[in-house]
Amino acid sequence: MRFEPRPNPSRIMILMSPVIAIALTSIVAMALFALAGQNPLEALIIFLTAPLADLYGFGELLIKAAPLVLIGVGLAIGFRAGIWNVGAEGQLTVGVIFAGYVALKFGPAGGWWVLPLMVIAGAVGGVFWAAIPALLRVKFNASEILVSLMLNYVAALWLSWLIFGLWRDPAGFNFPQSEPLAPDALFPILIADTRANVSVLFALGAVVAGWLFMNRSFAGFQLKVTGLSEGAARYAGFGVSRAVWIGMLASGAAAGIAGVGEIAGPLAQIFPTASPGYGYAAIIVAFLGRLHPVGILLSGLLMALLYLSGDVAQMSLGMPSSITGLLQSTLLFFLLTTDVFIQYRIRFQSSNRQGAAT
C-alpha cells in the first residue's frame, strides 16, 4: 500500500473530507458513550439533538455559533494567504478589555452610542493585539504563529489583572467579576424568548463580507496568490508584507468584535476568562469550513452544537463536559487526515497494468 499523488486535487474529496471526518468523529463519540455505559447510538442522538429541542435551544446555538463564525471568517482571510494567526483568543480578550472599558466608563450614563462605540473599541483592541505579531513578522520575520500564540497568555493576564483589581465589582462579594454592564451596553435581543442577540447579525455580515472579499475583490485575490505561490506573488508585485497586515488585522478585528459579543451578550458582565476558547475553536471552524465563508457558517453551527452538547453530556449522560473539547480536537484530527486524500490516493498494489491512465 502506498500513497500516490493525484494528477489534480480531488474536488469530491474537498467536499467529502469534512463529511467523512464528522462521521469518524461520531464513531469515536459512540465508543466513548459505550465506555461510559450508555447505549452508543441513543446517546449520540441525545447528544446531538437534545440541545435543539426547542426555540430557546436554537437561540443558544446561534449565540454560540456567532463568535465562531465571525472569528472563523476573519482567520480564513489570513489562512488563505498563508498567514497563520493562532492568536484570535488573545485578540478577542483585548477586544473585551477595550470594549469593557467603554462599557464600564460610559455605560451607566447611557446613550444609544455606547454600543456602537464598544464595537469599534473592540475591533480596535483586536487589531492592536494582532498588529504586534504582524509588525514583528514584517520587520524581523518573526513567526506570527509563535508570537500570536504567546500573546494569548499575555492578554489573558491583562484581563485577569483588571478584573481582580481595578474593575472588580465592589458589590460582588469579592468574586472576580466586573459590575453588571448597563442596559445601553448590551446587544438587543433578536429573537424573542431566546438569548440570541444582534451579534448573530455580525456573524452573518462577516459571511457576506468575507465571501465578497475573498472571491470577488482584487485584494482578496492578491492574498490568495500570496498564499499559493510566493514566487508568483513576487513576480506580480503582490507584497507579502501587505498580505501579512491584511490577514492579521482582518482576523484581529473580527476576534475583537466577537469579544464585544461575549460581554454585551447573555453574560452582561466581564469575567477573567473572556471566552470558552472560541479563538482556538474558530481555527477548527475555519478549516472544517474549507476556508470558505459559507462552509465556515455550517462548521460554526456544528462546533456550537458540540459546545451545547457538552452540557447535555454532563446533565443527562453523566459525562464530563470536557467531552466537547475532546470531540472538537478529534474532529480536527480526522479532518487533517482525510484532507490528505484531496491531493493523494491510496494504491494497494503496484500492478503491471495501470487502469487509471486517463
The CB density around residue 213, as the number of other CB atoms within 10 Å, is 21
To another protein, the closest distance from the beta carbon of 346 in angstroms equals 13
5 vs 165, which CB is nearer to another protein? 5
To another protein, the closest distance from the beta carbon of 293 in angstroms equals 16
Is 353 among the residues that bind another protein (CB under 8 A)? yes
8-state DSSP, 268? -
Query: Angle CA(40)–CA(44)–CA(50) in degrees, nearest 5?
Result: 140
Is 346 among the residues that bind another protein (CB under 8 A)? no
For 109, counting Cβ atoms within 10 Å of its Cβ (0-12 exposed, 13-18 middle, 19+ buried), the class is exposed
Helix (H, G, I), strand (E, B) or coil at 4: strand
- The binder of another protein chosen from 1, 171, 192, 357 (CB under 8 A): 357
Region 55-94 residues binding another protein, contact defined as CB under 8 A? none
Let me know: does 167 contact 180? Beta carbons within 8 Å: no
Is 232 among the residues that bind another protein (CB under 8 A)? yes
Is 10 among the residues that bind another protein (CB under 8 A)? no
- The binder of another protein chosen from 143, 217, 273, 322 (CB under 8 A): 217
Stretch that binds another protein, among 61-69, 72-80, 103-111, 350-358 (CB under 8 A): 350-358
DSSP letters, 160-205, are HHHHHTTT--TTSTT-S--PPPPGGGSPPBSSTTS--BTHHHHHHH
Is 326 among the residues that bind another protein (CB under 8 A)? no
Among candidates 146, 175, 36, 158, which has minimal Cα distance to 85?
Answer: 146
To another protein, the closest distance from the beta carbon of 236 in angstroms equals 4
**Phi, psi angle pair for 99, to nearest 5°:** -65, -35
8-state DSSP, 346? E
Is 354 among the residues that bind another protein (CB under 8 A)? yes
Is 349 among the residues that bind another protein (CB under 8 A)? no
141 vs 352, which CB is nearer to another protein? 352
139 vs 216, which CB is nearer to another protein? 216
Q: In the 3-class helix/strand/coil scheme, how is 64-117 assigned residue by residue?
A: HHHHHHHHHHHHHHHHHCCCCCCCHHHHHHHHHHHHHHHHHHHCCCCCCCHHHH
Region 282-301 residues binding another protein, contact defined as CB under 8 A? none
Stretch that binds another protein, among 110-118, 123-131, 211-219, 327-335 (CB under 8 A): 211-219
- The binder of another protein chosen from 5, 165, 170, 188 (CB under 8 A): 5
To another protein, the closest distance from the beta carbon of 137 in angstroms equals 19
- The binder of another protein chosen from 212, 294, 340, 346 (CB under 8 A): 212
Let me know: does 254 contact 298? Beta carbons within 8 Å: no
Residue ranges that bind another protein, judged by CB under 8 A: 4-9, 212, 216-219, 221, 224-225, 228-229, 231-232, 234-237, 239, 350, 352-354, 356-358
